[in-house]
């Protein structure tokens, strides 16, 4: 029997994006003929997916004027049954596919109603108003997927069914990078993957590492992620000059390259300040560290504490208190046995509760529901 054709569209994600490509698209290839339009696609990443390579522009205005029309011209002939949209700038163009009979899913991966003011790029009066308009229309005409339950306090009065699908780790992918917990207690290393910004407590982390350097001058901090601050911001940051040589910046990096650096690390860090929707949203990196068997240091938000303290897999600290961060990192360095047990408990929690298997089933069931309603 011929598989129904589905199309996933993002003008902003990386070609190896773990959620879009490795989890969602790959999961759906079991039942559907999956096409994925994404910038600079790499078919070798997932051979079962039909990739359509897009140009990449940092600014939304060029994505809207150039990339989005290109997607329509390039993909309309596919006549997909479902179009899965990951970026709000494509919402007005999704109506073209809708006219030709496709069911549209709009996936909300961040609550821009709470975060738009934090953006230094792709922000402005007209962009905000356009987003609010098409976001409101999407609630009326499209199916929605949310990555967090907390978004439902903003997204009210939805006309069509919706689903919450968490971005939990794909254990089959992480497993090849998980090694026995054997940190170097003389020259400890720490691991971070994700965006780097002061809202994500990078300033607090630097001050904490300055305190650690007094005891462990040869420590290493591996930082994988795009920086949202300038070199001048770094130079002006208190404590940066002291730890500068200990910090290793790698920019945005494929997880297959980044995860091996977690081998031998003392802990994984996931500090965020209570701004935007951070307090109500799980940081994906938290569960990735747990899946790798690392003890975690994260913010003391109730949502995070419910995971970390329940499973006793790390520590929750104030994202404004460097002394707390330093104290817990030093504890983990000096108590290897307990740190190893924390990592093991975190891994067990992911295996039981926080892995992609349950979310994959929700995704498949949601697609089946949508196609049944379309018949």
Average pLDDT along the chain, 375 residues, taken 10 residues at a time: 92 92 96 97 92 94 95 96 97 96 95 66 70 89 95 91 96 95 96 95 97 97 94 93 97 93 97 92 96 98 97 98 98 98 98 96 97 87
Contact 61, 80 (CB under 8 A): no
Q: Residue 278: how many CA atoms within 13 Å on its side-chain side?
A: 22
- The CATH 3.40.50.2000 portion of the chain extends over 5-168+356-374, 172-352
Strands (E), 102-184: 103-108, 143-146, 162-164
pTM for the model stands at 0.92
Per-residue pLDDT at 132: 85
Strands (E), the chain: 5-9, 33-39, 50-54, 82-85, 103-108, 143-146, 162-164, 189-193, 220-224, 247-249, 267-270, 296-299, 314-317
CB within 8 A of 59, min separation 6: which ones?
Answer: 121, 122
CA dist list (Å): 344 to 285, 290, 295, 340: 16, 8, 8, 6
| CA 347/CA 269 separation, integer angstroms | 16
| CA 259/CA 262 separation, integer angstroms | 5
Per-residue pLDDT at 221: 98
Contact 130, 112 (CB under 8 A): no
- Bridge partners (DSSP) of residue 36 are 8, 51
CA dist list (Å): 204 to 72, 214, 321, 324: 45, 16, 7, 10
Quick one: which of 252, 195, 331 has its CA closest to 40? 252
**CATH no., domain 5-168+356-374:** 3.40.50.2000
Neighbours of 170 (CB within 10 A): 21
| CA 177/CA 158 separation, integer angstroms | 40
* Tokens (6 digits) for 375: 């018949």
| CA 229/CA 227 separation, integer angstroms | 6
Angle at 337 between CA 285 and CA 173, to 5 degrees: 30
Overall CATH class of domain 172-352: alpha beta
Strands (E), 286-348: 296-299, 314-317
CB within 8 A of 137, min separation 6: which ones?
Answer: 91
| CA 42/CA 46 separation, integer angstroms | 8
Question: β-strands 189-193, 103-108: how paired?
Answer: unpaired
| CA 269/CA 191 separation, integer angstroms | 6
Helix (H, G, I), strand (E, B) or coil at 375: coil
Backbone angles phi, psi at 193, to 5 degrees: -135, 130
| CA 203 to mean position of chain CA atoms | 21
């Amino acid at each position: 029997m011929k598989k129904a054709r589905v199309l996933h569209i993002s003008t902003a994600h990386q070609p190896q994006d773990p959620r879009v490509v490795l989890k969602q698209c790959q999961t759906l290839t079991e039942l559907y003929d999956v096409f994925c339009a994404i910038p600079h696609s790499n078919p070798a990443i997932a051979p079962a997916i039909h990739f359509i390579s897009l140009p990449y522009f940092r600014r939304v205005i060029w994505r809207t004027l150039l990339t989005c029309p290109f997607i329509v011209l390039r993909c309309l002939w596919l006549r997909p049954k479902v179009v899965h949209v990951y970026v709000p700038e494509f919402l007005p163009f999704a109506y073209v596919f809708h006219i030709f009979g496709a069911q549209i899913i709009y996936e909300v991966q961040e609550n821009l109603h709470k975060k738009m003011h934090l953006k230094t790029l792709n922000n402005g009066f007209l962009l905000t108003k356009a987003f609010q308009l098409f976001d409101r229309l999407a609630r009326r005409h499209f199916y929605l997927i949310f990555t967090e339950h907390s978004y439902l306090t903003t997204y009210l009065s939805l006309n069509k069914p919706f689903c919450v699908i968490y971005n939990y780790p794909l254990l089959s992918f992480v497993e090849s990078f998980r090694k026995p917990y054997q940190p170097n207690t003389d020259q400890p290393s720490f691991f971070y993957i994700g965006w780097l910004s002061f809202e994500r407590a990078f300033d607090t982390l630097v001050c904490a590492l300055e305190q650690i350097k007094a005891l462990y001058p040869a420590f290493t901090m591996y930082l994988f992620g795009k920086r949202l601050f300038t070199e001048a911001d770094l130079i002006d940051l208190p404590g940066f000059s002291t730890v500068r040589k200990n910090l290793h910046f790698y920019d945005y990096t494929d997880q297959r390259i980044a995860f091996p650096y977690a081998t031998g690390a003392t802990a994984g860090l996931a500090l965020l300040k209570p701004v935007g929707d951070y307090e109500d949203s799980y940081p994906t990196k938290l569960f990735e560290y747990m899946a790798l068997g690392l003890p975690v240091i994260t913010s003391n938000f109730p949502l995070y504490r419910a995971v970390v303290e329940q499973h006793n897999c790390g520590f929750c600290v104030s994202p404004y208190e460097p002394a707390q961060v330093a104290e817990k990192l030093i504890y983990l360095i000096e108590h290897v046995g307990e740190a190893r047990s924390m990592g093991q408990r975190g891994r067990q929690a992911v295996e039981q509760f926080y892995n992609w298997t349950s979310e994959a089933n929700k995704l498949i069931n949601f697609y089946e529901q949508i196609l049944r309603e379309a018949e």
